[in-house]
Every structure is written in C-alpha cells, then in structure tokens.
Amino acid sequence: MKDFIKKHLTNVKQATKKEKEKELWDVVGILKNRLNEKLKYDLRPYQMDDQGRDVKPLTNKSKADKIVFEQKNKWVIVEAAELHSFIITHRLKEINLDEIIDALEWNININK
C-alpha cells in the first residue's frame, strides 16, 4: 500500500499506533485529482483465513472514511459508511467485492 500512498495521496499524515488500533484507519490524505478533502483511509492488507482465502476484516467501529482494497491490477476505494450499511442491510457476514461493487453508489477504481 506504500505505492498507493506515494502515487495517489497528498497532504499525508500517518495514523498513530493508537489510532490504528482503536479507530482502524491508517492514513489521512487527499486523493490526487479526484477529491479535494482530507479523508481517513483504511489500508489494512488482506489476511489469509482458515480456509486459505484472502480476507479483509471490516467493522462498523472504524473511523475510516474510505476503505482501499488492493487487487492485482488496481486499487478499489469504497465509501466505508456505505459498505457497512450494505453489509448490515443485506445481513452479510462475508462479501465478494467483485460481486457487490456495482451495487455501491460510491467507488473509485485506480489502475496500478
């Protein structure tokens, strides 16, 4: 995710250890050529679960404004509140980002 920060964010401020642990965001910045406000981004990487799948744990306790998913050829940025609302509304325990991305109103794809 260092590439994402370096190439696509300005006015960057890294979260403190406490902010990462309690508020679940990694960096504050402005998305270059896309947005004009400082937002908090969740950049946590995928983790391998017990079944060998790449997963990204999410929680509605996060203070992140946007969640960044790294895929093979692109980064997908979604609105955290909208994604959490979608998960609650549809009573999902797991999501496949490729399957739900079209149902979300706010998302940005950035090629690597």
pLDDT tens for 42-68 read 999 887 778 877 778 788 889 999 999
Contact at 8 Å (CB) between 21 and 59?
no
Q: What is the DSSP letter of 108?
A: E
Strands of 9-14's sheet, edge to edge?
A: 9-14, 27-31, 39-42, 66-70, 74-79, 107-111
94 pLDDT higher than 90:
no
Mean pLDDT of 12-22: 96
Given this model, what pLDDT does residue 58 score?
81
- Torsions phi, psi of 54, nearest 5? -80, 120
d(CA 27, CA 13): 6
- pLDDT at 2 (0 to 100): 85
Specify the pTM.
0.89
C-alpha distances (whole Å) from 111 to each of 1, 69, 74, 88, 100 are 13, 12, 4, 29, 19
Looking at residue 92, its pLDDT comes to 87
72 pLDDT more than 80: yes
**In the predicted model, what is the mean pLDDT of the chain?**
92
Which residue from 56, 99, 60 is spatially nearest to 79, judged by alpha carbons? Answer: 60
Q: What is the pLDDT of residue 96?
A: 84
Residue 110 confidence (pLDDT): 96
